[in-house]
Amino acid sequence: MKLELERIPVWDGVRSGSECYICDLMGEAESDAIAFYLGSSVMNPETRVRVNESGFCTTHWQLLLAANKSQGLSLMADTYLAASRARMQGSLADLSRAKGRWGAKAAVARFKEQLAEREAGCLACTAMEGRLQRYLFTTAYLWEQEEEFRAALLASKGFCLHHFSLLLERGLEAISKSRSDAFVSEMTRLETENLDRIARDLHWMTQMHKSENRGKEWNGSEDAHRRGVDKMTGLHRVIDPV
């Protein structure tokens, strides 16, 4: 699959000084997806059909709710619930007719399986996934093709562990085989150096809570706990693409 380059947002991300600019870009992608499904598109029959077929993951249903756009969300929820009940009508009927422990267990198992199928996939995650792959591809491509970008990337704060893993995976597909070892080595060194930095800040933060260190300089570690959690887990992740 040929991916388009996202040169401008990736360059802006590298220059931002962020702990993971992929997280930042995915935050924008998530906001765009939520806005799209709560905007005028909700009146488009094709959009409603897609929502009825796929819906959203729990995280993105909750973000849709948090946007406080009750009209658009009620329209989607109305038809999605109707479609869900139609899909599960058989298993719901089995539950109501189940006899005995084993009959009940079989009916519950069927309903659970059907519900899992219904809840699989998320339109917002799918929209985010497309942009994620372009950002990862662009990062690897520019690392290989543009020395200025490579230098800026190696001077950055790296990535959260989640997006670091995905970058390595996509990078091995995006760059030439002859440069793959160098790419993995440089990205791993960049990530390790920044994990060491976060670790030092976190440790110093723990020491600053000791009475003997009162009045000492924080040395930029005031928010180390937040940066540490974000570095380990990522702020904005694709959860359940269709």
3-state secondary structure 160-183: CHHHHHHHHHHHHHHCCHHHHHHH
Sign of the dihedral through C-alpha 205, 211, 217, 223: positive
pLDDT of residue 208: 73
- Check residues 15 and 110 and name the one with the higher pLDDT: 15
Structure tokens at 180: 């793959």
Q: Which residue has the tokens 């038809």?
A: 79
Q: Which band of pLDDT confidence, cut at 50, 70 and 90, is reported for residue 115? A: confident
Do the beta carbons of residue 149 and residue 14 sit within 8 Å?
Answer: yes
Q: How far apart are CA 54 and CA 58, in angstroms?
A: 12
For every residue of 91-160, DSSP letters joined together read HHHHHHH--HHHHHHHHHHHHHHHHHHHH---HHHHHHHHHHHHHHHHHHHHHHH-HHHHHHHHTS----
pLDDT above 90 coverage of the chain, percent: 61
What's the whole-model pTM score? 0.86
Q: How far apart are CA 58 and CA 229, in angstroms?
A: 22
219: helix, strand or coil: coil
Do the beta carbons of residue 86 and residue 205 sit within 8 Å?
Answer: no
Structure tokens at 187: 């990205």
In angstroms, how far is CA 226 from the centroid of its own chain?
Answer: 18
Structure tokens at 203: 């440790």
pLDDT of residue 1: 52
> What does the pLDDT average to over 197-221?
82
pLDDT of residue 188: 98
Query: For the segment 79-98, what is each residue's pLDDT rounded down to a tens digit?
Result: 999 999 888 888 888 788 87
What does the radius of gyration of the chain's CA atoms come to, in whole angstroms? Answer: 23
Do the beta carbons of residue 167 and residue 139 sit within 8 Å?
Answer: yes
pLDDT of residue 215: 78
**DSSP H or E segment with residue 64:** helix 58-66
Query: For the segment 136-172, what is each residue's pLDDT rounded down to a tens digit?
Result: 999 999 999 999 999 999 999 999 999 999 999 999 9
Query: For the segment 70-80, what is each residue's pLDDT rounded down to a tens digit?
Result: 988 999 999 99
Which of 239, 242, 236 is closest to 29 using CA atoms? 236
pLDDT of residue 113: 87
pLDDT at 104 over 70: yes
